[in-house]
Amino acid sequence: MSVLKDLVDGLADGQIAIVDLTARLSSDTPIIQLPPMFGQTQRFELEEISNYDDRGPGWYWNNFRSGEHTGTHFDAPNHWVTGKDLGDVADVPVDRLIRPVVVLDFSTQCAVNPDFLLEVDDIKAWEADNGPLPDGGWMIYRTGWDERSNSQEEFINADENGPHTPGMTVECARWIAEESPLVGVGVETVGTDAGAAHSFDPAFPCHSYLMGSGKYGLTQLQNVAQLPTTGAVLVAGPLPIVTGSGAPARVYALVER
Burial class (CB in 10 A: 0-12, 13-18, 19+), 26: exposed
Of 220, 215, 63, the C-alpha closest to 147 is 220
Catalytic (active site) residue 207: no
Contact 179, 209 (CB under 8 A): no
Contact 59, 51 (CB under 8 A): no
Rounded Cα–Cα distance for residues 249 and 74 (Å)? 6
**What are the b/e assignments for 148-174, b being 16+ CB within 10 Å?**
bbeebeebbbeeeebbbbbbbbbebbb
H or E element in which residue 209 lies: helix 205-212
Indicate which residue of 79, 164, 198, 207 is catalytic.
79
Element counts in the chain: helices (H) and strands (E): 6, 14
Annotated active-site positions, please?
Answer: 79
